[in-house]
Structure formats: C-alpha cells, structure tokens
C-alpha cells in the first residue's frame, strides 16, 4: 500500500470531522444500535469512517421533519431565501480546501477535478439566489377573452423533494438540485451514495452555517435498494442521477404515484473532430473530455470520431498527451488524473479493455492497472480497432477509456454519433464555429459543446442541462431546473360576461357571436 497516500489523507483531515458530520444523519429513535457500513478511501482501499445504514423509518422521520419546517420556509419571500444562498456561495469558496480534501478522500479524484465541483456549487448558488425570483414570480397571461378575462400564472413549492445522488460527483450532484429545490421553497431529503456520504454532509454543514434551518435539509444514509422506495413513496418529487436501469425503476415508481421525476442517466458520448480543427488545441481538449475524473463522468467522451485526413496526426498528438499524463494520489494540483472510486469500477474497466483487446482492439496508450499508485488506479487508455461485438463499443464503461475511429464525410460522422440509445452530451471541434453550431443541432444529445469538452454547456447554468433518449428525463439548471420543483397554478377572473350564453343570447346566437369574436381576435395582433 502506498505510504504517501495514507500519510496525505490522514494528516489533512482529522477523524473527528467524520464523527461530527455523522451526527447530521437523520435517524428515527435514538439510533444507538443502528448498524453501519464502512466508507472506503479509494486512495488506500482502507476504511476511513462508518456511515449508518438507514431504514424506511428514518426516511419517514426525515420527511416528517422536512414537512414541518417547509411551511414557514415556503411562506418566506424569495429575496429572504436568497440571502442564505449568497452567504453559502461565499462560504463554499472560503472553505474550499476542506471540501476539496473530503471530496478527494472519498472519491479518489484529482484535486483539479474536485475543484470543478466546488466551482459548480458556487455558480449554481449564485445563479438561483439572483434569478430564482424572476423564474418563480407570478405572471400575467393572456386571458380567454380580451378585457373580459384576466389570467395569472403562479408557482407554488411542492413540499418535500427527494434527491438520490451518486458517488462520482458527490458535492455537485448532492447540492445543485437541492439548491434549486430549496430556493423554490421546498424542503429536501437527500440519500447520498453510501460510498461518498461525508462530502454531502460537509457541504450541508456549511449550508446550515449560512443560515438554512437544519430541519429543512435532512440526510439519510444507507443502501439504495432499501431507501429508494420509501423516499419515492413519501416525497413530492424525486431527482436521481445514476444508471439508466435504476432510472427506469424510479420513473415507474414515481409514475405510479403521479409525482414529478427528474433523471440524469447514462451516456456513451461522442466527440467529432473535423479536418479543419486546431489539432494541438483539440488534443488538449480531448484529454479533458475523456479522462476528467478518470472518466467517471456521465458527460465524458467514450467515442471519438476523427475526419480521416487528420486522423493519424491527431492520434499521434492525443496518444502522446495521454501517455504523458501524471497519475497519483496528491492533495495539490500537480496530478492530471486520480484513482477510480472503487474495486467494482476497476474491475469493470479492466473487463471492458480485456474483452476489446482479446477481440482485436489495440491499446495505443494505457491499458493497465497501476497498483503501484494505489489499489484502484488505471491508466488513461486509448483503443483503436474497436468493433461492435466488443462490450465497450456500445455499453458505457464509465472509466478512463476511449475508442477512436476515422470517418469520411460529416454525414457519416453524424450518423455514427447518433447510433446509440443514449443522448446526454457531445462535442464538436472545428475552426468554423458557425458550421459547428449547425452540426450540433443534428446531434441527438441534450447538450453539445463546440470546441469544449463539457464545461461550456454544464457551467452555462442559465440554460437547461439534461439528456434525451435513454439518458434521462427532465432538466437541471435555468428556469426548467427550478420550475420542476413547483406546482404551476392558473388563476383567472372573469368580468362582465360569462364564457357562456348570456341571457340575451340563445345557444346558437352565442356560438355565432363567439365565432365572430374569435375571427376578429385572429386578425388584430394586439388581441392575439
């Protein structure tokens, strides 16, 4: 076991922090006899703390507390709620070193990839603190009949929102949807992944410090198969980030209750490199696109298509950059890539690469585990000669592995990019950005970046982000990302005459009068 990794994380964070954060977990009753499961530090493979194994009773208690607190919170002005999240924005940036340490300890990722999460939470906090009131405000709408009908649209909080977050981005995906739900006036019950509960707890601790009433944001730790059902059964909307298979189950359960359901699921994301692309710049971008967070990113690139005239040169540049990447367990910004998150992830990546190579693929870079660095490290890997009978050709690997292919003609590239049941993210690299934008609209994907891997669309939080096809339902960010946590209500006031036959009209006469009125409205732009 590498001593350097052990020395780093145990010296940076005192074990008492985990004991203190554990007390933030909601437990029904006294919780003294509650069983726990170990949280493993990927850098060493050793347990770093225990997390309680929650039950359906704990979910019920968390929802009860949340509902009680939500009544007052939901009646507050949006401006008052915003003050909490402006303070939170500042605290997240001020205390980022602690957050970064906990993220790295629990997930094993490189520090620069952990910082993406800190920046994301700060950006989303600022955005909804400033813009939520605009998205949620009551609006006057055109009534059924001009002058006679006055209509307004209102948005009310749903009550309690349930969030099930994954291990790969334990800060971002625990907090950013929660921020939107809370700013909309709801309470939140979070079930973080059992591999990474302490990142969420550390972030929520700062939110309490920023002034959020503690009862509004409850956390229940434990296994998804035991807590997911009770959470969906008792909350008013559910948000899930994870696998497509689990997402289908959650959608079915939410549909049976007719409650809202937002799902960001799997991806097999394509990257298109056109012949006019700046190859040095694009090779640098491809490193980020394919290997950020060791490829454990729903929006990372796993299929790379390069126009044939530049294929050989691009492969040479990209392979050289990939082989030069620095891997290791470090709490500074010197490493390009960290560890995979668990033994399960390592075994999946190894099986995909082994299957591909056994069937004729070639690893032009990487292709090996690195136990000398830590138990779950795996080299960033580029494969050529990948064919459809190989597992990784179509199945999401969710690791630092990309298959690369030449293409002839943009129509072929678009067809191949779309030949997947997924549609989460894509990117296009070209000097002709107007052409790149036109091509982007033909890619069947919820987000498409031109000359950037994923951060341009993800960080543009005024715009919606999410997947199509098997990659999910609903959107986070922007107006859609907060309105999904509200119930829309229409209120209309009818004046002078009913929308029905008045005493002076027969039913036939009323129909003629209304027909004439509708024709007039059609021809007068001010009344449409």
pLDDT digits (tens, 9 = 90+) for 380-431: 999 999 999 999 999 999 999 999 999 999 999 999 999 999 999 999 999 9
Q: Compute CA distances 152 → 137, 147, 486, 491, 505, whole Å.
A: 10, 14, 16, 5, 29
Average pLDDT on 338-345 reads: 98
Same domain, 61 and 192: yes
Q: Is the pLDDT of residue 3 over 60?
A: no
Same domain, 135 and 240: yes
Q: Which of 215, 298, 379, 427 is catalytic?
A: 298
Q: Do residues 486 and 237 make contact, with C-beta atoms less than 8 angstroms apart?
A: no
Collapsing DSSP to helix, strand or coil, 404 comes out as strand
Domain assignment of residue 430, yes or no? yes
Q: Is the pLDDT of residue 261 over 80?
A: yes
| pLDDT tens by residue, 267-298 | 999 999 999 999 999 999 999 999 999 999 99
Pairing of strands 425-429, 472-473: unpaired
Domain assignment of residue 11, yes or no? yes
Q: What is the pLDDT of residue 1?
A: 40
Q: What is the pLDDT of residue 2?
A: 45
Q: Which of 116, 264, 307, 396 is catalytic?
A: 264
Domain assignment of residue 467, yes or no? no
Give the range of the structural domain holding residue 346, as residue numbers without chain letter.
269-461
Active site residue 427: no
Same domain, 370 and 508: no
Same domain, 207 and 81: yes
Domain assignment of residue 491, yes or no? no
Collapsing DSSP to helix, strand or coil, 421 comes out as coil
Q: Is the pLDDT of residue 76 over 70?
A: yes
Q: Is the pLDDT of residue 8 over 90?
A: no
Q: What is the pLDDT of residue 31?
A: 63
Q: Residue 401 pairs with which residues in a beta bridge?
A: 381
Round to whole Å and give the CA distance between 378 and 294: 8
| pLDDT tens by residue, 91-136 | 999 999 999 999 999 999 999 999 999 999 999 999 999 999 999 9
Same domain, 290 and 259: no
Domain assignment of residue 457, yes or no? yes
Q: What is the DSSP letter of 25?
A: B
Round to whole Å and give the CA distance between 145 and 496: 11
Same domain, 214 and 292: no
Q: Is the pLDDT of residue 158 over 70?
A: yes
* 32's tokens: 């003294």
Domain assignment of residue 444, yes or no? yes
Same domain, 230 and 352: no
- What percent of the chain has a predicted confidence (pLDDT) above 90? 88
Same domain, 175 and 276: no
Q: What is the pLDDT of residue 29?
A: 80
Mean pLDDT, all residues of the chain? 95
Same domain, 244 and 276: no
Q: Is the pLDDT of residue 527 over 90?
A: no
Q: Is the pLDDT of residue 361 over 80?
A: yes
Element (H, E) at 463: none
Same domain, 157 and 302: no
Domain assignment of residue 37, yes or no? yes
Query: What is the pTM (predicted TM-score) of this model?
Result: 0.95
How many Å separate Cα 198 from the centre of its chain? 18
Q: What is the DSSP letter of 7?
A: H
Q: What is the pLDDT of residue 359?
A: 98
Q: Do residues 187 and 70 make contact, with C-beta atoms less than 8 angstroms apart?
A: yes
Active site residue 57: no
Q: Do residues 254 and 228 make contact, with C-beta atoms less than 8 angstroms apart?
A: no
**What CATH number is associated with residue 59?**
3.40.605.10
Domain assignment of residue 120, yes or no? yes
Number of domains in the chain: 3
Same domain, 169 and 290: no
């Amino acid at each position: 076991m590498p001593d350097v990794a052990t020395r780093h994380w145990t010296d940076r964070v005192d074990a008492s922090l985990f004991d203190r954060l554990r007390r933030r977990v909601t437990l029904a009753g006294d919780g003294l006899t509650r069983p726990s499961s170990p949280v493993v530090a990927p850098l060493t493979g050793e347990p770093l703390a225990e997390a309680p194994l929650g039950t359906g009773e704990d979910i019920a208690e968390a929802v009860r507390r949340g509902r009680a607190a939500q009544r007052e919170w939901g009646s507050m002005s949006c401006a008052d709620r915003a003050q909490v999240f402006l303070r939170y924005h500042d605290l997240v940036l001020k205390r980022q070193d602690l957050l970064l340490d906990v993220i790295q300890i629990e997930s094993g990722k490189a520090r620069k990839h952990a910082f993406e999460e800190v920046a994301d939470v700060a950006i989303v906090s600022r955005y909804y603190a400033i813009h939520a009131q605009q998205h949620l405000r009551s609006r006057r709408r055109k009534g059924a009949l001009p002058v006679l009908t006055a209509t307004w649209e209102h948005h009310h909080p749903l009550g309690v929102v349930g969030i099930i977050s994954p291990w790969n981005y334990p800060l971002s995906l625990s907090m950013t949807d929660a921020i939107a739900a809370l700013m909309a006036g709801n309470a939140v019950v979070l079930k973080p992944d059992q591999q990474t509960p302490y990142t969420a707890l550390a972030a929520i601790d700062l939110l309490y410090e920023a002034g959020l009433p503690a009862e509004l944001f409850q956390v229940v730790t434990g296994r998804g198969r035991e807590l997911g059902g009770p959470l969906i059964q008792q909350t008013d909307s559910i948000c899930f980030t994870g696998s497509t298979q689990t997402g289908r189950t959650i959608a079915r359960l939410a549909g049976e209750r007719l409650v809202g359901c937002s799902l960001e699921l799997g991806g097999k994301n394509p990257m298109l490199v056109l012949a006019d692309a700046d190859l040095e710049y694009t090779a640098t971008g491809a490193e980020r696109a394919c290997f950020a967070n060791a490829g454990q990113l729903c929006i990372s690139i796993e299929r790379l298509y390069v126009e044939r005239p530049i294929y050989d040169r691009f492969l040479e540049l990209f392979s050289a950059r990939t082989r030069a990447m620095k891997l290791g367990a470090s709490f500074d910004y010197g490493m390009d890539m960290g560890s995979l998150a668990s033994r399960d992830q390592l075994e999946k990546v190894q099986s995909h690469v082994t299957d591909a190579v056994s069937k004729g693929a070639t690893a032009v870079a990487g292709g090996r585990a690195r136990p000398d660095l830590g138990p779950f490290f795996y080299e960033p890997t580029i494969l050529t000669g990948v064919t459809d009978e190989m597992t990784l050709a179509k199945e999401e690997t969710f690791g630092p592995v990309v298959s690369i292919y030449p293409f002839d003609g943009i129509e072929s590239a678009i067809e191949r990019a779309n030949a997947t049941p997924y549609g989460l993210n894509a990117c296009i690299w070209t000097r002709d950005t107007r052409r790149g934008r036109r091509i982007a609209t033909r890619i069947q994907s919820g987000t498409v970046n031109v000359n950037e891997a994923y951060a341009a669309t993800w960080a543009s939080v005024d715009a919606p982000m999410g997947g199509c096809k098997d990659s999910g339902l609903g959107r986070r960010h922007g107006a859609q990302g907060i309105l999904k946590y509200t119930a829309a209500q229409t209120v209309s006031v009818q004046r002078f005459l009913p929308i029905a036959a008045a005493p002076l009209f027969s039913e036939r006469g009323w129909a003629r009068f209304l027909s004439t009125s509708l024709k007039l409205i059609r021809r007068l732009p001010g009344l449409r």
